[in-house]
Amino acid sequence: MQPNSEQQNALMQEEFTAMIEIQSMYPDTKPELYALLQQQLLALLEGESHSIPNLANTAALLAGALQEINWVGFYLMTDGYLLLGPFQGKPACIRISLGSGVCGTAAALDITQRIVDVHLFPSHIACDCDSNSEIVIPIHAAGKVIGVLDIDSPVCNRFDQVDQEGLEAMVRILETACTW
């Protein structure tokens, strides 16, 4: 039996209220937000060292907590290129060459890339034309880059130093908690 329009409206209102409640459970200041996210990540990783489910849960955690983002996920080193891993958002590029785009540059240089306007980045790969800024953090194991955390935003200059430090701390947690 299909719900009538009044029942559908009530269900939609409940879902909207639940979304607001989830978003409001996160602190308003970035330092507090990242401290809480790091605690939540540690709890999610407890007792599990396999990288794929841990990366999937991390992507979901960040997608649910960070505002003004439209994609969050991981690319993993495979045969000399970055291969799409767990993510939240629209479909994405599957393979990225080292040195190409923001992700490939972060992996090749082993340096976090915080890009104010991706359209001004020389080798930007436009997987989603709605993205305007991006942050990419290299992930390490055994002294080598083994992947990257990639987060896109439709807002120019979305990511600042506090975001970078908070996200780099989350990547360090993943590096030590996962079996790569």
| Max CA separation in the chain (angstroms) | 59
Side by side, the strands of the sheet bearing 95-97 are 95-97, 81-89, 71-78, 144-153, 133-141, 113-115
Render pLDDT for 101-134 as a digit per residue (tens, 0 to 9): 999 999 999 999 999 998 887 766 666 667 889 9
Here the CATH number for the domain that contains residue 148 is 3.30.450.40
Taking the C-alpha atoms of residue 136 and residue 94, their distance in angstroms, rounded to an integer, is 16
Q: In this predicted structure, what is the pLDDT of residue 20?
A: 45
Sign of CA dihedral 14, 20, 23, 25: negative
pLDDT higher than 80, residue 169: yes
pTM: 0.84
pLDDT higher than 50, residue 99: yes
Q: Which domain holds residue 145?
A: 5-177
Domains identified in the chain, total number: 1
Least confident among 4-8, 33-37, 165-169: 4-8
Q: In this predicted structure, what is the pLDDT of residue 65?
A: 96
Computed over every residue of the chain, the mean pLDDT equals: 89
pLDDT higher than 80, residue 73: yes
Q: In this predicted structure, what is the pLDDT of residue 128?
A: 64
pLDDT higher than 80, residue 78: yes
Taking the C-alpha atoms of residue 72 and residue 59, their distance in angstroms, rounded to an integer, is 6
